[in-house]
A and B are shown apart, each in its own frame.
Chain A
Amino acid sequence: MNKDLLLRVENLNRSFGGVKAVRSMNFDLFRGDILGIIGPNGSGKTTLLNLITGFIAKDSGKVTYASREITHWPAHKIADAGLVRTFQVVRPYSSFATYKNLIPPLFSPRNRRTARGRLGDRDAVAIDILEEVGFERESAVIHKLAGTLPLGYLKRLELARCLAMTPELLCCDEVFSGLSMAEIASMVPLLERLRRNGITLIMVEHRLRELFKIANRLIVLNFGEKIADGIPQEVMKKDEVRKAYLGEEFAL
């Protein structure tokens, strides 16, 4: 097992008032992994992502990404380094045409450092990326205002916005939530393709069945604490996981 360490989270803490949203969190993430993070509502999954990506401040602890300490970096600098996140509540630029939503990330300093990002036609690149995540190329959808799109498209747009950043580590915050079974089924191969393209994924999810298809590692949170860590099928057999999350009678 000679794997390349990409992200290390050490003793991370954050509380909101009296609530300890995340406490003494530790984990390592290796390049090429797909890490699933699950847990009951309010167990601190989204807070953990917010802490890692710098969207909220850390009370204490240390985050190392690609052998650089990013603990106190602002959110835009972390994203600039290739650690990109989606938002659970989709945040399109609702007054833009759909494909124009990808212009800000394509115009970001991260992309403009490459000759292709600096000189290429960003509209064309945007349409290419949208096609990659499942927008029909010739359809009128990509020219509609993003605010008018149905949720299925918005989730894809959110993913496309992150892909436009050419991420190394992508944190997906519940990309499956609110989607129909058919839409989820079409998202799974897309995420697998990302992994093949060398993108490491952290997926916060409630949809276990789909998550287990792609994740090769699982962390279970409860009340802000990590209660299990390991290969999905093994983790789910643990008693405390079943008790905390799935209920006593859950059968895999």
Chain B
Amino acid sequence: MGNEILKRRERLDRGVKVRTDTIYAVSSWQEMFFLLVPRLVLVVGLLSAPLIAPNLYWQKVICILGVFALLSLGFDFLSHFVGLVSLGGGLFIGVGGYMSGICNYYFGLPIALSIPMGTLLGAILCTLILLPTLPLRGVYFAIVTFAYPLMIERAICAADVLGGTDGITGLTMLGNIWFSQYMILGVVLFSTFGLRKLVNEDIGMVFRGVKDNDQAIRASGINITLYKALAVFISALMGCFGGAYLTHLYGWVGVSLLATDFSIFPLVATAVGGPSTLVGSLIGCIILVPISETLRAFGALRIVMYSLILIFFIAYWREGLLNWLIRKYEQSEHWTRV
């Protein structure tokens, strides 16, 4: 023991990181590159993905990736910035999809109207049905968000409404694959940067305050339930857009939009990509969706993969990929003797 040299890893913020925190960010090209490079890599990477995709199949994968990314962003926002652990992916996708399908099929609205209508009406409906759970603390919100899609699925099948088990077919399709891809990628990028801005605004501090210390928010004369509802609405908007988009991508809406996969996948993607970073959940999707597609041959065994990945990240690497990357990018590390 006595002659053992103890060492610890010392982390120091890089000078360029500290400078870019302030107005000095515009002091030279070096600082500006430091800020711009990661953002450009993400934006250019995403926007060039459709060009790289070898065939129509992979282009569709990009569309699906966008939908999962929206769900994961919404999950990360709700659970790590507002403190509402949401398993509502299936609910949002399903409600948004059916709403948009109804608008298109029964009311004959064109896509340009049915997608926005489906998104908005779906988000309002989701917020309303989740409203009773919002004043509660704890796991109730997660349970209810998870239970609703299962319930709606059974109800649609049993009552044989909205197309029953077959779903509503013959909806207008988005058609052009390039338009489809860039539409969803545009929304994903807008949501990512929009949410990142939102959580650092003054209203974002209220959202984060609800997670950190909801009693102090009440003591500040702010209605917690109202802000939770607002956060759910934002997250539901993104999810319902995903649902409405999927509906018109396939020209079909059915009970498979209420699938549990939509609820669970965001959880895994966020754990892999790095919780409470927002962009992390997007990166998680970029990694997991293609892997998941490559392994499609394994069928149901893929769920084992998800589970193993989730267990590994939660047990051994809880910071996730992006938090690790940020640390490497912004700080220098070396060993020092204690």
Contacts and interface: CB of A to CB of B under 8 A. Distances in A.
A84 B215 CA distance: 12
B213 A92 contact: yes
Contacts, number: 82
Interface in B175-228: 202-203, 205-206, 208-209, 212-213, 215-224
A161 B218 contact: no
Interface residues of A, number: 32
B221 A105 contact: yes
Contacts of B216: 87, 91-93, 104, 161
Contacts of A81: 221
Interface in A72-122: 74-77, 79-81, 84-85, 87, 91-96, 100, 103-110, 122
Interface in B117-175: none
A79 B221 contact: yes
A223 interface: no
A103 B213 CA distance: 13
Residue of B203, B213, B218, B219 most packed against chain A (CB within 10 A): B219
Interface of B, secondary structure class, is helix
Contact of B217 (A74, A92, A94, A104): A104
Nearest to A100: B205
Contacts of A84: 219, 221
A145 B10 CA distance: 20
Interface residues of B, number: 18
Nearest to B227: A104
A93 B208 contact: yes
A55 B224 CA distance: 13
A104 B209 contact: yes
Contacts of A165: 220-221
Contacts of B223: 74, 76-77
Given A91-B215, A93-B212, A103 B221 contact: no
Contacts of B217: 76, 104
Interface of A: 53, 55, 74-77, 79-81, 84-85, 87, 91-96, 100, 103-110, 122, 161-162, 164-165
20 contacts: A55-B218, A74-B223, A76-B217, A76-B218, A76-B223, A76-B224, A79-B218, A84-B219, A85-B219, A87-B219, A91-B213, A93-B208, A93-B212, A95-B212, A96-B205, A100-B205, A105-B221, A107-B222, A109-B221, A165-B220
The 3 closest A-B pairs by CB, nearest first: A80-B221, A79-B221, A103-B205
Given A79-B219, A93-B208, 9 more contacts: A74-B223, A84-B221, A104-B216, A104-B217, A105-B221, A107-B203, A108-B220, A161-B219, A165-B221
